Amino acid sequence: MPDFTSLRRPSPIGRLPVPDTLAICCGQCRPHSRKPAHTAPSSLFIDEIDAVGSREDQGSARNRNYQQQVINAFLGEMNTLAREEGVIIIGACNHPATIDAAILLAGRFDIKIEMPLPDADSLLAVFQRHFPAWPDADLRDLGQRAVGSSAADVDAAIRQLRAGVRAHDRAVTIKDLQVIFSVQSDPSIDWSVAVHECGHAIVCAALETGVVRRIFLERTGGGFVQWDPDAKSGLMIDIEAILAQHMAGRAAEYLVLGNISSGAGGSAASDLAKATAMALAIHTQYGLGACGPVWIGDADKALLLDPTWRSGCANISRQQKLVPCMSLASTATCWRRWHDS
């Protein structure tokens, strides 16, 4: 993002007309993007690159037009740099899924590296940097306690703690940090979450939808499965397999625990949200469902509110029973193999 403190205009940026703001943003970015070409060999680091956004984002026509011009200008600068020898472009962000697909094409960002949360040894190094004189055993214990936090989380917690104890005219102690990074988990909840996440991983392997890289329990009580999806042909059986994987966490809870929690629901990134979106896409975008070979586009929410359409889809789902059966059968079969071994 441009450094707005360097603008000469006296008007606040929020009060500028949209064309004026756009011109200033692009004008501020252009010199920075072209400087590496004049100093090659060099590198250009773009932090929070997901702020560029995507032309697929929903919103008003005015916002889409603005965002499209920003992305087009950004792509133009990227194409210019791509033709320069000795220039490496590096981008970093927390939400790569929100970046426009054109930005991630080969020739712009060829290598994509996902940085997982640090493990206990990496967090130990963070504590050692802040408290080099403390015993290694105490710092190693803190590293174990802080697993699930990012290095930035640990740094922020330490800064906040130091500010708090400064008011009492004392130094930070090991007990202060043990309180902040205390392990407050319920073993029964951890077991339920572990069963849920293992269900996803088991069905992923059973239906060969991809390769499981990591199964993780978060400090906040949730969990996730990191997996690399395999390329598929987009056949109905492929879509059903992904649907089964989304629902496999609930299936595992039912098979192992005898009950189902609300863990699969919640936000738009939840298992149920993803499964619902994919199930609707079968009918409204893929041309494989009740609506026939048509593309309805972004009418999913309107269709969900239509009682007649919902009733029709519910009847189809009850007749086919594809997703629940695949989830339960795949999870049950693989779970028994694992248990017997």
Side chain identity, residue 255: L
Ordered DSSP codes for 221-242? S-EEEEEEEPP----HHHHHHH
Nearest Cα to Cα of residue 49 among 117, 7, 108, 106: 108
Strand partners, 147: 149
Kind and range of the H or E element at 202? Answer: helix 187-206
CA-to-CA distance for 322 and 316, rounded, in angstroms?
Answer: 10
CA-to-CA distance for 228 and 297, rounded, in angstroms?
Answer: 27
Q: Which of 56, 114, 197, 253 is catalytic?
A: 197
Ordered DSSP codes for 244-285? HHHHHHHHHIIIIISS--STT-SSTTSHHHHHHHHHHHHHHT
Bond from prior residue into 41 cis (ω within 30 degrees of 0)? yes
CA-to-CA distance for 290 and 312, rounded, in angstroms?
Answer: 8
Active site residue 208: no
CA-to-CA distance for 31 and 202, rounded, in angstroms?
Answer: 51
Contact 174, 138 (CB under 8 A): yes
Q: Is 17 helix (H, G, I), strand (E, B) or coil?
A: coil
Q: Which residues are catalytic?
A: 197
